[in-house]
Amino acid sequence: MTSLVRIAPSILSADFSKLGEEIAAIDAAGADYIHLDVMDGHFVPNITFGPPIVKMVRGATKKVFDCHLMIAPADPYLQGFADAGADIITIHAEAGAHWHRSLQAIKAMGKKAGLAINPATPTSVLDHVMDLVDLVLVMTVNPGFGGQSFIPLLDKISDVRARIKATGRDIDLEVDGGINPDTAKQVIAAGANVLVAGTAVFKGGPSTYASAIKSLRG
């Protein structure tokens, strides 16, 4: 496990009227990844944005675009997000029956592949895809809304960390949902090395982004 804790601010909580500026600001403030929450109004209740927006803001930063697809089906849109500039494309195990094939497709596009699992989804869905994933995303809220309260799935995070360790591969363990300075300490201790945070980063405006990101690193 890498000792480096990476912070991935979710632009879901950014000011969309000046999204490019917001991304540039969190880049300058020390963000490691830029987390893009894509919602379709079908797999999850809300609708956010698609590949055209990703392409439009790609020029605002050179940081990793961590693209979290909360959409079903995902396969028809993978190439679009890859072409738009996503560096990591994460799909949900719950969003389709053939996530092994989907992960293969993402890798064939030259992108890093992630698999997300919802709070009630068992970690056994990872059993036969650990050779394909570059990132495992453990959701500590039910997907679809920002600003939700943290579900303390620390045993689940620890289980995923053990699975990653067993592979001998450098796989990110990302946690998304209710992350703030207090819960960040808990998930880092359980084995997470990438933290997604929206409200905790963006709530105070650009002048606070650097201090907010620093506080999440612990």
Predicted pLDDT of residue 147: 73
Three-class secondary structure assignment of 113-162: EEEEECCCCCHHHHCCCCCCCCEEEEECCCCCCCCCCCCCCHHHHHHHHH
Of the candidates 210, 179, 194, the residue with the CA atom closest to the CA atom of residue 33: 194
Q: What's the rounded mean pLDDT across residues 35-52?
A: 96
Q: What's the rounded mean pLDDT across residues 172-180?
A: 97
Q: Is 176 a catalytic residue?
A: yes
Q: How confident is the model over 139-148, as pLDDT tens digits? A: 999 988 777 8
Active-site pick, 32, 40, 134, 176: 176
Active-site pick, 37, 66, 134, 172: 37
Per the prediction, the chain carries an average pLDDT of 96
Q: Is 170 a catalytic residue?
A: no
Q: What's the rounded mean pLDDT across residues 132-161?
A: 93
Predicted pLDDT of residue 3: 54
| Confidence category of residue 2, pLDDT binned at 50, 70, 90 | very low
Domain ranges of the chain: 6-217
User: Where is pLDDT greater, at 45 or 146?
Assistant: 45
What is the CATH code for 6-217?
3.20.20.70
| Confidence category of residue 62, pLDDT binned at 50, 70, 90 | very high
